[in-house]
């Protein structure tokens, strides 16, 4: 049986995205998505929780996210989980963290979309960005 690693999230950016360029001149943007969950408790009271999920996106898409998204803006992402493992320098214990490597994203709102995002084929306030869209930016 083949393994399957797929994540689909929709939420709001918890902070402004941070873009960096690696030593090999590749662009990567890191951001955190806040995903809210609400439910009714056993006695009918409303309850909720927020999960903060760290994400990274690479290449031309990294620049698009850094240029067109900011804290509070909604985003829809698809990607895969990646586990980072390291040894804590103080305790010498192994630690790990899961992060989403974004492979595709969608704009959800139309906030300033007509001003800040060029009109290119396949790019709308709810559309998926394609490689041709990134090249046009």
pLDDT digits (tens, 9 = 90+) for 46-72: 999 999 999 999 999 999 999 999 999
> What's the pLDDT at 29?
97
Query: Looking at the 3D structure of the chain, how many domains does it have?
Result: 1
Share of the chain above pLDDT 70, in %: 80
Q: Which domain holds residue 38?
A: 7-136
0.85 surpassed by pTM: no
**In a domain? residue 109:** yes
H/E element holding 115? helix 113-116
Share of the chain above pLDDT 90, in %: 73
Indicate if the pLDDT at residue 75 is higher than 60. yes
Residue 104 CA: distances (Å) to CA of 8, 59, 78 = 10, 12, 5
Res. 1 pLDDT band, cuts 50 70 90: confident
Tokens 């998204």 found at: 69
Comparing 118 with 29, which gets the higher pLDDT? Answer: 29
- Mean pLDDT of the residues in the chain: 84
**In a domain? residue 65:** yes
Res. 12 pLDDT band, cuts 50 70 90: very high
Residues in Cβ contact with 48 at an 8 Å cutoff, skipping those fewer than 6 apart: 36, 37, 38, 39
**In a domain? residue 118:** yes
Indicate if the pLDDT at residue 36 is higher than 60. yes
Euclidean distance between CA atoms 56 and 101, whole angstroms: 5
> What's the pLDDT at 125?
32
Residue 52 sits in a domain whose CATH number is: 2.40.50.140
**In a domain? residue 1:** no
Res. 4 pLDDT band, cuts 50 70 90: very high
């Amino acid at each position: 049986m083949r393994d399957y690693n797929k994540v689909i999230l929709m939420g709001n950016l918890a902070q402004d995205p941070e873009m960096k360029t690696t030593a090999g001149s590749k662009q990567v943007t890191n951001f955190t998505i806040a995903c809210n969950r609400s439910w009714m408790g056993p006695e009918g009271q409303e309850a909720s929780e927020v999960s903060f999920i760290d994400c990274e996106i690479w290449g031309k898409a990294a620049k698009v996210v850094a240029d067109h998204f900011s804290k509070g803006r909604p985003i829809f992402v698809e990607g895969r989980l990646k586990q980072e493992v390291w040894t804590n320098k103080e305790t010498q214990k192994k630690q790990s963290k899961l992060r989403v490597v974004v492979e595709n994203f969608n704009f959800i709102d139309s906030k300033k979309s007509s001003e800040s995002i060029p009109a290119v084929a396949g790019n709308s306030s709810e559309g998926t960005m394609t490689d041709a869209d990134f090249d046009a930016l």
